[in-house]
Structure 1
């Protein structure tokens, strides 16, 4: 019985490790493209405009690194705009991927963090 449970678990773990390894080997801009076509190009261009390079992307934020005119290292963090989708039933809110708040009346409604900021 135990061996019947271990084999499927092993397969899942190996598949997960392969997926993680494949994602790590992709350029950061390609990882961003999985969210939206050309999103990677957009954020890479934003970094290039600052004379830096894209180093991390995490769904609702990205980091650029480079050197300033004096040769000092600089790192800038940027958030994608509030309300952008970032996962199943999730949206970007202040740089974090958060669940959408639903109103379960008739009709079904939702409250976006982007709309909350507009009303403030």
Structure 2
């Protein structure tokens, strides 16, 4: 009986401890590329919004319109921007970079 009570409590404590150290969307963007967090925060603040989420190739700005109405606007990072190890943003999706090995190593980018 005691084991059944201790296990759920320890699971809840472990889940809560991971949540307490979550990064802000701006910190996630900075980890991706130094300066990126400031750029996307500026985009959001120029429309009187705040940065609410960040993923590999997109971010969302959130604005409280009053009366309980919240407006969310999502933006994609430009195609060709890096989003991971040997990956780039292509139309809002993080995809692997394609290399062509011929006489010289060339790169096929979705931005071209």
Q: Which residue of 1 aligns with 2:71?
A: 74
- More displaced stretch, 68-77 vs 95-104: 68-77
Residue 99 of structure 2 corresponds to residue 102 of structure 1: yes
Structure holding more helix per residue? 1
* CA pair 35-23 structure 1, distance change in 2 beyond 3 A: farther
Secondary structure in 2 matching 1:37: coil
Q: CA RMSD in A?
A: 2.4
Using the size of structure 2 for normalisation, the TM-score is: 0.75
Using the size of structure 1 for normalisation, the TM-score is: 0.71
TM superposition outliers: structure 1 runs of 4+ over 6 Å? none
Q: How many residues align?
A: 97
Secondary structure in 2 matching 1:51: coil
Given that residues 23 and 31 in structure 1 are in contact (C-alpha distance below 8 angstroms), is that contact kept between their aligned partners in structure 2?
no
Structure holding more strand per residue? 2
